[in-house]
Structure 1
């Protein structure tokens, strides 16, 4: 059991048995002494208890005694293995992202695409993120499949992603083989253009597919992690992403055709096969080991009109009623991702351009075959920089939580509440972890610092001229990437999960008291669920990427030089331009609060009822659960 949980749950259960006839196995009786039947809406504490019984909070900590039909296992504190199984699917997804980010740009350039057109191709990512994720979020929120809300979208998105990766990797063979049936020469210009068009089409399908599975996985993590462990769950997710990045970039750095020739005859083909195997296996592990809530037991959402207009109307209404912390995070993300998007897609090419400059200056008249070999080696050198970047990111995600005081995984109610437990246990290890915490270093402040680090590194790309220094810059940016994968999702998840937990507690109270919730004592019934909120957050990430893509294309149009021509510094200018917007993101981050505060109407103004105390004690879980998830279990 994690530290800070109070007296042992076995002791609490024993105490409860002594004071509660239901828990002790006796049949409850009414005022006349006759037995009362126990059904699914029967409270576990009889209404005839004395004053001491009224003050009792029953929490068996997940030890089901057969009577607590209303106990919500999803509020129980989860173990390290649960968190790993819950988040492992996002690691497989990240490996697919790593293949596209590290090798997508060089692959499209090798097909004959110019940098300016290539930049417009990558607008597929933000377009799909801005449209697909909120749409999938709305669909999954309203899904009533027996498999769960998110699982069907995770499966469908994964299947589409696998097909897209394989079609993209074998674009030359598919198009060339098909057109050769009609007598077309594979070396002709028409076939080359057809291959480019085919590849670009599958890039769009790939990005739409990846965003589908990503929307499902993010909402899956939020739904299945307890509200008091949201910061821990997102910290674990960021670590799993870091591992996925390391595997992807390490594979990209190695000479895979030499060792894994049976997967394909090129580096990109083998990487795509590895990504497909990783994504399929990890998603299968998550959905087979982690059980979602049964959505069929929830109240059906009101039916709305379908179509594009209805979709955008729903999204705009949801944007207007975003929770306050989530709204601020979205503002930060908008400006931060104007800088992050070019860095993610062009880091490999940035390092590669620096690597090839000496060879191009020495021999500016290389043959196409020599250029291909040079740039293939340069791409591997650039991928090594991303490997350093991924290792830095993972190290940050593993070590930094020890030095940051947990904030966003605090209980839904503060210690001033009359029914909040102040009892806690500590161990020698937990006291050691408390010593490591740096006073004043909150997750929000660490996120702010990461923006400043990123901006400094992007400005430095203008003056760096060596592969080693450029690799160091990209490696340092891994610190910023670690916080980007952790902080915004932790803040949003904590706020959304706490609201959802309180909503469920109010609904439970309403069922037991046989009355409906009134506006004064419950959350707004129109409050959005995790899927659409995370979808809107992704819109705040995707929309600025469209601006970054258009801006990058304009810069490339004026500054780029033909492939194989020395002196091309256009990518460094694009990266530096992104650093400017990140400074705005840093300022906006300074305006975010260090604690998730629930609205005033959500704080009870009256002494809570027995069922409120029972529901809140379950929802509350631990007094505090650190982001160093699992180390105390």
Structure 2
């Protein structure tokens, strides 16, 4: 058993303000994951279409992502919450998920050769309908396996960031994660735009094969860096794992119970995500095809009798043009991620920062001190993360409504680039709000535990108070980061199922055969998605900006008779958290003034 003093030292060290280098190493793995996502998003649909899959069936295939996300991420979150491996409870799932993702990408990209070669051993004609159907079936199966693997590693990475970032730097950590995602997007889409087989043909003879190889290497490398260089708190310090939560029935019971008792702030974020992702999903999966169809229409009108090989070459070029639009989208997103945080008041960090150690040198300055960083001058008063998030949804809706009117590649590319601003906020705002809430609740739970242990040691009536407090802690521990983030992902994934089914119906009604001009069915899907993001903007409006600091929450327990330890009392004697104090912590960490 870890001595009490060692436990306190570990908690204190975990809450020290971390440098920008620590935040980069902590979040770099999500950049490798985003490269894998970008390959699937930009080239997955064209690849399946090249195998002979129709648009309506392709839309149903992409239900794999939201379906696995709805089930896999909360389940992985629950399993990792209860993992008690000494080197970390998230790292085993990060490593296992990365290996599975890399293998799935490689098998998917080589499906035609593997299936064709295997059936050819038995004398099957590679050009026969039976072989083509078999290739499609196996490719679809690998899409499902790939999405299970990607959701596994994503669930682990998101919980890893929440666990390893200090309470008062959750907003900064998620801002850094969104920037890393932006870099990953740019690298992935740049690779998709370049004619890769021409330069690195030894990785594969097609664009998709080379992209999958690059994505696999990038994911495994970045996961290795985060796992090796970032220390994860020993989960054995949290006590034994909850029993009876590994089964499927226990999983569903845990999820439904946790959904009912979600904190109000997190519940509102989940509502926003549910509405918004009905619109986001078509934009992410069909953008390259949308741009590509605009690109090829003049060619089809000029030469309506192209041969299949000529069509394949034209559509491959169109996919590259569509990927370039996604590259512009990623650049706008990254620029927003880099610049916007310096103009936004750090609302949620300021609510959580109260539990941070005040003795970290050079970081926490008394609120009355006139000394401020030059970055504080950039903050726009009243321009909170919530307000920026709400405006970004309105911007997205306007852009999607315009897609049905646009008929040039340049204008369509500009629209897609514009919604990169929305994507930047989507990668930052909800995670920052939820992470700050989770971290605050964890800080409250730790201080309650310290208070109860002190009460038990110094008061004969302590055991009774400890017993009452343990009941409260059991309620607190039942909804840890993994489960809550899994529920949040359910709010992201489940509306994608609705969007997929709706897209499939619209494609069935409006789509035209491959090679026929005038197909604008994707634009109709994108425009309808914009209606739901407007609804999401209204729900963002209902989210609160002002949250009580940690000390205020723990102070309520003080009034009920629980005694504080010396450490917790010291933190409660500190001045109330202020917006300027949070800004100082943020600017210090981004100034790279502290060593890793």
- The answer to whether TM tops 0.5 is yes
Structure-to-structure mapping, 1:435-446, within 5 angstroms:
435-446=377-388
Matched, 1:613 2:569: yes
Please name the residue that 2:411 is paired with.
469
Contact between 2:397 and 2:533, CA under 8 Å: does it hold in 1? yes
CA 1:179 to 1:618, structure 2 compared with 1: closer, same or farther past 3 Å? farther
Out of 547, 555, 561, which is 2:512 matched to? 561
Please name the residue that 1:213 is paired with.
153
Out of 96, 101, 114, which is 1:156 matched to? 96
Shift of 1:324: 1.2
Structure-to-structure mapping, 1:112-127, within 5 angstroms:
112-127=52-67
Give the distance between the partners of 2:555 and 2:496, measured in 1 at CA: 39
CA RMSD of aligned residues (A): 2.5
Give the distance between the partners of 2:260 and 2:148, measured in 1 at CA: 26
Out of 225, 231, 239, which is 2:171 matched to? 231
The Cα offsets for residues 144-196 of structure 1, whole Å up to 9 and x where unpaired, read as 11221101100111111001000000011100010000001111111111000
Out of 308, 312, 324, which is 1:384 matched to? 324
Please name the residue that 1:459 is paired with.
401
Contact between 1:521 and 1:602, CA under 8 Å: does it hold in 2? no
Structure-to-structure mapping, 1:411-560, within 5 angstroms:
411-412=351-352, 423-424=366-367, 430-513=372-455, 514=457, 515=462, 517=466, 519=468, 524-527=473-476, 528-560=479-511
Identify the range of structure 1 (586-595 vs 483-492) with the bigger mean alpha-carbon deviation.
586-595
Contact between 1:90 and 1:241, CA under 8 Å: does it hold in 2? yes
Shift of 1:522: 9.1
Give the distance between the partners of 2:180 and 2:306, measured in 1 at CA: 42
The Cα offsets for residues 421-448 of structure 1, whole Å up to 9 and x where unpaired, read as 98148797x4422221112110000000
Give the distance between the partners of 1:261 and 1:539, measured in 2 at CA: 39
The unaligned stretches of length 5 or more in structure 1 are 1-38, 43-65, 416-420
Matched, 1:331 2:267: no
Aligned length: 567
Contact between 2:83 and 2:241, CA under 8 Å: does it hold in 1? no
Matched, 1:603 2:555: yes
Give the distance between the partners of 1:296 and 1:257, measured in 2 at CA: 49
Shift of 1:511: 3.0
Give the distance between the partners of 1:200 and 1:557, measured in 2 at CA: 19
Give the distance between the partners of 2:128 and 2:573, measured in 1 at CA: 71
Match of 2:334, SS state, is: helix
Out of 124, 127, 134, which is 2:74 matched to? 134
The Cα offsets for residues 190-223 of structure 1, whole Å up to 9 and x where unpaired, read as 1111000010000000001000000000000000
Please name the residue that 1:573 is paired with.
524
Please name the residue that 2:140 is paired with.
200
Contact between 1:75 and 1:621, CA under 8 Å: does it hold in 2? no
Matched, 1:186 2:144: no
CA 1:362 to 1:154, structure 2 compared with 1: closer, same or farther past 3 Å? same
Give the distance between the partners of 2:44 and 2:248, measured in 1 at CA: 31
Give the distance between the partners of 1:120 and 1:413, measured in 2 at CA: 45
Contact between 1:231 and 1:408, CA under 8 Å: does it hold in 2? yes
Q: Higher helix fraction: Structure 1 or Structure 2? A: 2
TM-score, L = length of structure 1? 0.85
Shift of 1:507: 1.6
The unaligned stretches of length 5 or more in structure 2 are 356-363
Give the distance between the partners of 1:530 and 1:75, measured in 2 at CA: 17
CA 1:239 to 1:617, structure 2 compared with 1: closer, same or farther past 3 Å? farther
The Cα offsets for residues 450-484 of structure 1, whole Å up to 9 and x where unpaired, read as 00000000000010000000000000000000000
Contact between 2:351 and 2:546, CA under 8 Å: does it hold in 1? no
Please name the residue that 2:35 is paired with.
95
The Cα offsets for residues 487-525 of structure 1, whole Å up to 9 and x where unpaired, read as 000000000001101211222333344245465799542
Give the distance between the partners of 1:273 and 1:460, measured in 2 at CA: 36
Shift of 1:241: 0.2
Please name the residue that 1:310 is paired with.
250
Shift of 1:67: 11
Please name the residue that 1:297 is paired with.
237
CA 1:617 to 1:274, structure 2 compared with 1: closer, same or farther past 3 Å? farther
Contact between 2:204 and 2:210, CA under 8 Å: does it hold in 1? yes
Please name the residue that 1:363 is paired with.
303
Please name the residue that 1:271 is paired with.
211
